[in-house]
Amino acid sequence: MGAAAAGSGLVWALAGFGTIALLAAVAAVWLVLRERDRAARLEQSLRQAETQLDALVLRDGLTGLLSRSEFELALDEMVQRTDRGGVRFSLLYVDLDNLSTVNDAFGHEAGDAVLRQAALRMANYLHGRSVIASRIAADEFALIVPGDRDAGQRAAEGVVGVLAKPFRINDREARLTCSVGLAAYPLHGSRPRLLGNALLAMRTVKNAGGGGFAEYDPRMGVAQREEAELLHELRAAVERDQLELYYQPKVDAKSLQITAAEALLRWRHPKRGIISPALFIPLAERFGLIGAIGDWVIAEACRQAAEWREAGLRMRVAVNISGYQLRQDDLVARIEAALVLNRIPPSRFTCEITESVAMEDTRVTQQAFDRLRRAGVHVSIDDFGTGHSSLAALRRLPAAELKIDRAFVCDLETSGDARSIARAIVQMAHSLDLRVVAEGVESEAQRDQLVALGCDELQGFLFAKPMPAEALALWAHNEPPDRASVPFRPSLFQETQPAEFGAL
């Protein structure tokens, strides 16, 4: 591999593992010698260590690519050349997205083999383009691609493509994707910032699910700083009780009685006002905060349900359960404890679980569903129609309710496809004895169509927006006694509350 690469202009050297250990050794040697005849001996031992370090840096058993330090030198050299009027270049930061799954499934030797193959594929693909390649961390590579931005983009696209092809491990196959960030010199930053900016672009791709490339954009830095700040504040908010639950009623399509109230999280931020869960739930999921938040939601929703029951409001309370929570060992135990504490029958408590999470066919998900079934809680499959569930898979779940995704309700009036899908969902759900809830009902025309299709329950701004618990009690009590004569009027809440709530 080394000979072929030298011929093609690729610069090979060693991956930098072992460097840190050696530096530590140098420091230790220095400490021992401090007491003695310092100058002479220190110099001698440092020289020895340096020689060892050089040997390590120059040859790599694994990929044969440049080490990080060698790469930094090569980058300095390229920058100087460009500054003197030489060719421009792009820096590509390549990160394998899921090497750990290979390590877990096939062992570390297989992981090493994949790294070797990945390096070889990139080398073959970029052959003859005077690319400088380096493995700068465990599963991260950096490439210097001479030429304009377009050349850099084409190289990035090509690398994403060649690494997406299956890797053979003995007689099995593994599929990987990679995230590539691109920073062009001098367009996307000076020498000190270039590698960091390519890294930022790579992280942006990874955060979006990986398997692609992105060019650096100054807004990426802002977005990441804002995200870090928001995360910091969310942690504090969890501790300081700044989270609240709003509730949105579901009503029976025929009697218009409130059947349930869905708890929806709100974050009352001291400066930014109310922040939508669509913004902070994904953040909480990515950074492991959703466990603590989810536990609080379960406890608080049960407490509220008990308070309402005392006041004569006997509807079900529904909470949204994230995929992370479903994989928690003690989810059902927590729910049961909260129900017992507040003396709520399990059948009066609904767990809304999205179709995509419910269909994850893992052992852990199945176990969680079995436990929910045994606990006797009411399970609702949320956002239905967006995943790819089969009838058979649906039958295995202990679900009692299915919520048609808002997207279909929204398109009912304009799209024949949406109508056909909604009709098919209702028929399928009824054949499985599931109740069907249509969510996001905003207009009377949508309501009429959904009733005609046979939906059992309706939920949406037409009836009421999510509101604080006290407002919901008021809304429920103020309903006229003979509801049927005043069907589907907008909620009192909607008419009387400030617009602040409207956007949520």
Interacting residues toward Ca ion by CB under 5 A: 320, 352, 382-383
Q: Are 91 and 182 in contact (CB under 8 A)?
A: yes
One of 67, 322, 365, 449 touching ligand C2E (CB under 6 A): 322
Question: Applying CB under 6 A, does 215 fall inside the site for ligand C2E?
Answer: no
DSSP string over 243-262 = EEEEEEEEEETTT--EEEEE
Q: What is the dihedral of CA 361, 363, 365, 369, to 10 degrees?
A: 110
**Among ligand C2E, Ca ion, none, partner that 106 touches (CB below 5 to 8 angstroms by kind):** none
Rounded alpha-carbon distances, angstroms, from residue 168 to 1, 111, 117, 179, 442: 19, 11, 9, 21, 52
501 binds ligand C2E (CB under 6 A): no
Which residue type sits at 373?
A: R
2 and 12 in contact (C-beta within 8 Å)? Answer: yes
Answer with the entry of Ca ion, ligand C2E, none that 183 interacts with (C-beta below 5 to 8 A by kind): none
Amino acid at 325: Q
Which C-beta is closer to Ca ion: that of 233 or that of 352? 352
Give least dist CB 364 to ligand C2E, A: 17
The option from Ca ion, ligand C2E, none interacting with 457 (CB < 5 to 8 A, set by class) reads: none
**Closer of 185 and 384 to ligand C2E (Cβ):** 384
> What is the total count of residues that contact ligand C2E (CB under 6 A)?
23
Is 503 a binding residue for ligand C2E by CB under 6 A? The answer is: no
Both structure tokens of 364 = 């852990």
Cα-flanking dihedrals φ and ψ of residue 65, to 5°?
A: -90, 170
Would you state the structure tokens that stand for residue 488, as one six-digit string?
A: 């589907």
Residue closer to ligand C2E (CB basis): 97 or 382 = 382
Per-residue DSSP letter, 385: T
- 215 versus 382: smaller Cβ distance to Ca ion: 382
Assess 276 for contact with ligand C2E (CB under 6 A). yes
- Asked if 297 contacts 245 with a C-beta cutoff of 8 angstroms, the reply is yes
Cα separation, 80 vs 86, whole angstroms: 8
- Residue 95 contacts ligand C2E per CB under 6 A: no
Q: Is 64 in the site for ligand C2E (CB under 6 A)?
A: no
DSSP category for residue 63:
S
Minimum distance between the CB of residue 409 and Ca ion, rounded to whole angstroms?
Answer: 10
- Tokens representing 44? 């001698």
Give 54's contacts (C-beta < 8 A, 6+ positions apart).
Answer: none
Using CB under 6 A, which residues numbered 301 to 320 contact ligand C2E? Answer: 319-320
- Residue 300 or residue 352: which is nearer to Ca ion going by CB? 352
Site for ligand C2E in 454-493 (CB under 6 A): 460-461, 466
User: Looking at beta carbons only, is 146 or 277 nearer to Ca ion?
Assistant: 277
Quote the CA–CA distance of 94 and 91 in Å, as a whole number.
10
Residue 210's binding partner, choosing from Ca ion, ligand C2E, none, with beta-carbon cut-off 5 to 8 A by kind? none
- Cβ proximity to Ca ion: between 14 and 351 the closer is 351
Minimum separation from the CB atom of position 354 to Ca ion (A):
7
Among positions 94, 131, 265, 358, the unique one binding ligand C2E when judged by CB under 6 A: 265
Residues in the chain: 504
Q: Which residues pair with 319 in a beta bridge?
A: 351
Q: Does 442 bind ligand C2E (CB under 6 A)?
A: yes
Tell me the C-alpha distance between 178 and 167, whole Å: 13
Q: Which of ligand C2E, Ca ion, none does residue 461 bind (CB under 5 to 8 Å by kind)? A: ligand C2E
d(CA 207, CA 483): 48
Under rule CB under 6 A, residue 382 binds ligand C2E: yes
| CA 28 – CA 240 distance, rounded (Å) | 46
Q: How far apart are CA 420 and CA 437, in angstroms?
A: 16
**Euclidean distance between the first and final Cα of the chain, in Å?**
58
Please, what is the minimum distance in Å from the beta carbon of residue 395 to ligand C2E?
23
Min CB(190)–ligand C2E separation in Å: 41
Q: CB of 368: closest distance to Ca ion in angstroms? A: 17
* Closest C-alpha among 317, 308, 303, 321 to residue 261: 317
> Quick one: what does residue 365 bind among Ca ion, ligand C2E, none, with the CB cut-off 5 to 8 Å set by partner type?
none
Least distance CB 335 / Ca ion (angstroms):
16
Closer by beta carbon to ligand C2E, 61 or else 490:
490
**Min separation Cβ 489 and ligand C2E, Å:** 15
Pick from 452, 473, 455: which is nearest to 464 by CA?
473
Residue 342: CB minimum distance to ligand C2E, A: 17
Contacts of residues 340-348 at CB distance under 8 Å and 24 or more positions apart, as own/partner, are 341/302, 342/302, 342/303, 342/305, 342/306, 343/306, 344/302, 344/305, 344/306, 344/309, 344/317, 346/375, 346/376, 346/377, 346/378, 347/376, 347/377, 347/378, 348/305, 348/314, 348/316, 348/317, 348/378
The verdict on 194 binding ligand C2E (CB under 6 A) reads: no
Binding residue for ligand C2E (CB under 6 A) from 215, 233, 300, 383?
383
Does 281 participate in binding ligand C2E (rule CB under 6 A)?
A: yes
Q: Find, among 353, 344, 349, the residue nearest to 383 by Cα.
A: 353
Positions that interact with ligand C2E (CB under 6 A): 248, 263-265, 276-278, 281, 297, 319-320, 322, 352, 382-383, 439-442, 460-461, 466, 504
